[in-house]
Structure 1
Amino acid sequence: MRTQSRRRPPRATLAMAAAGTLLAPLLSGCWVGAGGSGSGGNSINVLMVNNPQMVELQKLTKANFTKQTGIKVNFTVLPENDVRDKISQDFANQAGQYDVATLSNYEIPIYAKNGWLHEMNSYVAKDAAYDEQDVLKPMRQSLTADDGKLYGQPFYGESSFLMYRKDIFAEKGLKMPAHPTWDQVADLAAKVDGARPGMHGICLRGLPGWGEVMAPLTTVVNTFGGTWFTKDWKAQLDSPAFKKATQFYVDLVRKHGESGAAQSGFAECLNNMTQGKVAMWYDATSAAGSLEAKGSPVKGKLDYAPAPVEKTDNSGWLYTWAWGIQKASHNPDKAWKFVSWASSKGYEQLVGESSGWPNVPAGKRASTYANADYRKSAASFQEMTKEAIESAKPNNPGVQPRPAPGIQFVGIPEFTDLGTKVSQEISAAIAGRQSVDSALKKSQKLAEKISKEYEGR
């Protein structure tokens, strides 16, 4: 650990060091397409997360985008934790193996500051058909760097809310409050636990990863009155509010949560909800499209409520899986053609007509919420999703001032490593291998190292 008397390195060096923590070999992953070859000629390489919306995009690209433009797209598709590792390797080194990658509103401002991304203002200015002003303002703002330039375009946007089986609630004579508190949710989870054979009360992420268990947990921490850091960078992971929120989360998922919670992330909870193994799920609003899609076993059986709260008026996160173009891309112009197609109104229309309107990668364009076909097909969740996105407060998500933006993350380069290490401790508590107190004592020490780097800035 660096002592106070030594000169602090510049912010860019810290960012590179944070990225360097992700250069370990990948432990798992599903590789599709690009392999190890660089892009060139009339092809581009795209590295993306294996969420359902991206898998759908992969299926539609050849017969539509490639047919229209002649540009071949080589996809590499990986689980969330693995894709983050792979992206950080390629972009931090500016290796240029991948032209485009799925990045979030956490990474894009940081990567842009480090000079790893191609700005998009010049493309947007020449591409009137793309209609940048149609992109929801919170999304545009979250993908704009300190220099005022855009460095990403959203594929889909999301906040978070509570999904629940309205048929199960009706059978049990239960009613979901219009604006539930976490205590009310815990009570409801106990009452619906076991409502059907093998059904648990609620699904909450427990899988290690700063973008896995730490995403929903941090929103709980915020609304319980906690924070990772005070405005002057004092670490707060062992504070009473942080402890209370974490203990609540761990107790709830251990008592009434899904089987194998410590290994359950977004994908696993989506499967649990789809297969009728849980009665409630708190997670991303984007999940509703898959749950209400044609052929889903739970289509029409669900209802939705705002993210539960305690001390704040709302607690939903703000997130987008967006497209970033690597600065070292061999084909940035062709990369933009792909990005603009994948984030366009036209692509949404294609998905709506070919796969059903609930499947549309929404949460990013105002026009989506004015589309009569979408509004009708996504009636159960579309308005609540839009409201959650527009009411999210990334600069003021809790009860106290914050030193960096972010609702379900802290917007600094070091959070990738810190959040991942803390998530491992929390996941171990969910698995019953240690107490919450023990997990947070270790986590506090990790956070204090970051405090020493930032105090006094």
Structure 2
Amino acid sequence: MSRRPLFVVISALVMTLAACSGAGGSGSSSDGDSKTITALMVGNPQMEDIAKLTADSFTKETGITVKFTILPENELRDKVTQDVATQGGQYDVVTIGAYEAPIWAKNGWLHELSSYADKDSGYDSADLLQPMVKSLSGEDGKLYAAPFYGESSFLMWNKELFAAKGITMPERPTWQQVAGFAAQLNDKQAGVAGICLRGLPGWGEVFAPLTTVVNTFGGTWFEKDWTPKVNSPEFTEATKFYVDLVRQYGEAGASQAGFTECLNTFGQGKAAMWYDATSAAGTLEDASASKVAGKVGYAYAPVNKTKSSGWLWAWAWAMPKTTKQADAAWQFVSWATGKEYEKLVGEKMGWSRLPAGKRASTYDLPEYKQSATAFADITLKAIEEADPTNPGLQPRPALGVQFVGIPEFADLGTKVSQEVASAIAGKTTVEKALADGQKLAEDVAEKYRK
């Protein structure tokens, strides 16, 4: 693979995949008994890989063509929610996460997948990591989305930049230590930020890392009795800390930087640290896509008052109830989330790029263990440590580490995130942003109190 930016621009990717991508209703294709299914997925590196591998592997083996539509995270969330919630029926398989799966299962919008997996002799459901299974299951205990890759969060740091300053990163740093390191390593003259942190609006963008900071500072969106705490001293302290840190020592244009932008920034050696998803490590360790491959250290998610603070997430394949190609859709889901697909990625794309974090057997693969030595163990431990039932210092009314597992949180989190992004951009204050957020949270809480 030629050296290229870490994340291919979505429009360019879609153009290059024109032969096998695009939206449209499902149905049989015109040539014989072959079938075509439509897939809508988030534009992360692991999805880029599957779009490139499908035609020469899955389609050749099954005769099933997959038409991909690939979108950035915020756009993906809007598009998939619109299609699935309105029963639009445009897609046969979609990528959703640990937030949507149980809620949409309860709404009756998704096929349950346990029965398909049980009949699939080669699937081995028992090999799936239990934190991922639980996060993607409904109240009935059945699986409603199959994990494509799972993740927690950790702190990534540039070992060369740290060595040059004589700084040692502890295995379990505090946020105060991280802030101190960022101050020492921030070098505007060299174009190197002390740290990269998401600032892009979106409940799954800036509030993914920020809510973990709130948790470990002792804050919460809601207390057990649904008392909203968005403008509480703890929530405010955490948010001010985060906003000040990224404003003083973060990347340029932080209020518009999400996962993809920080992946590019850190991967090009333009940031000394990055706190984000464990799934980023596979791309960072790919020398064909990253300038810092072999130079990255990995530490547990920084803490303040809690023992750990990593999030828990899975990007997973789900089948909307509206699909008319359920059997063909399951064949794709089974292939995409199975053991053989991981080996295919390793052989074709590089072993560090496996969509890991979902199967126990992944961590027994000799090739993966060798290529992922720097981050495999800490990723698995971070996933196991994440506790969606008790991620902070007080009981919660709903499940979730970096989100609140209720339908209203997508709108609430997104609206508050817009205010926080404005604070990062210097257009408002944290106090004003959270005061407005408290009013929105009170409206949500009133519904649940009743």
The equivalent of 2:425 in structure 1 is 431
CA distance in 2, matches of 1:169, 1:95: 51
Which whole-Å deviations, capped at 9, do the CAs of 1:147-166 have from their partners, x for residues lacking one?
12110100000000000001
The equivalent of 2:24 in structure 1 is 37
The equivalent of 1:23 in structure 2 is none
The equivalent of 2:157 in structure 1 is 164
CA distance in 1, matches of 2:189, 2:150: 33
The equivalent of 2:31 in structure 1 is none
Which whole-Å deviations, capped at 9, do the CAs of 1:333-386 have from their partners, x for residues lacking one?
100000000001100000011111110000000001111111111000000000
Which whole-Å deviations, capped at 9, do the CAs of 1:128-161 have from their partners, x for residues lacking one?
2110010001001111100121101000000000
CA distance in 2, matches of 1:209, 1:445: 18
Q: What TM-score results when the alignment is normalised by the length of structure 1?
A: 0.92
Equivalent residues in 2 for 1:163-312 (5 A)?
Answer: 163-194=156-187, 197-295=190-288, 296-312=290-306
| Pairwise CA distance, 1:173 | 0.4
Q: Contact conserved, 1:294 with 1:356, CA < 8 A, in 2?
A: no
Which whole-Å deviations, capped at 9, do the CAs of 1:287-309 have from their partners, x for residues lacking one?
00000013221101110000000
Match status 1:405 vs 2:392: no
SS in structure 1 at match of 2:141: coil
| Pairwise CA distance, 1:186 | 0.2
Q: Contact conserved, 1:206 with 1:265, CA < 8 A, in 2?
A: yes
Q: 1:53 to 1:438 in 2, by over 3 A?
A: same
CA distance in 1, matches of 2:449, 2:184: 46
Match status 1:450 vs 2:440: no
Q: Contact conserved, 1:191 with 1:201, CA < 8 A, in 2?
A: yes
| Pairwise CA distance, 1:29 | 7.0
| Pairwise CA distance, 1:37 | 2.4
Aligned counterpart for 1:65 among listed residues 58, 62, 69: 58
| Pairwise CA distance, 1:96 | 1.2
Equivalent residues in 2 for 1:341-380 (5 A)?
Answer: 341-380=335-374
CA distance in 1, matches of 2:25, 2:238: 46
The equivalent of 2:308 in structure 1 is 314
Unmatched 5+ stretches in structure 2: 1-8, 29-34
| Pairwise CA distance, 1:93 | 1.3
The equivalent of 2:387 in structure 1 is 393
The equivalent of 1:101 in structure 2 is 94
**What is the aligned length?**
429
CA distance in 2, matches of 1:148, 1:200: 45
The equivalent of 1:335 in structure 2 is 329
| Pairwise CA distance, 1:237 | 0.5
The equivalent of 1:421 in structure 2 is 415
SS in structure 1 at match of 2:54: helix
Q: What TM-score results when the alignment is normalised by the length of structure 2?
A: 0.94
CA distance in 1, matches of 2:373, 2:174: 24
- RMSD after superposition: 1.2
Unmatched 5+ stretches in structure 1: 1-27
Q: Contact conserved, 1:104 with 1:322, CA < 8 A, in 2?
A: yes
Q: Contact conserved, 2:24 with 2:91, CA < 8 A, in 1?
A: no
Q: Contact conserved, 1:168 with 1:195, CA < 8 A, in 2?
A: no
Which whole-Å deviations, capped at 9, do the CAs of 1:228-276 have from their partners, x for residues lacking one?
0000101101100000000000000000000000000000000000111
CA distance in 1, matches of 2:350, 2:92: 30
Moved over 3 A (4+): 28-36
| Pairwise CA distance, 1:196 | 7.2
SS in structure 2 at match of 1:130: coil
Match status 1:91 vs 2:78: no
- Percent of residue pairs identical: 61
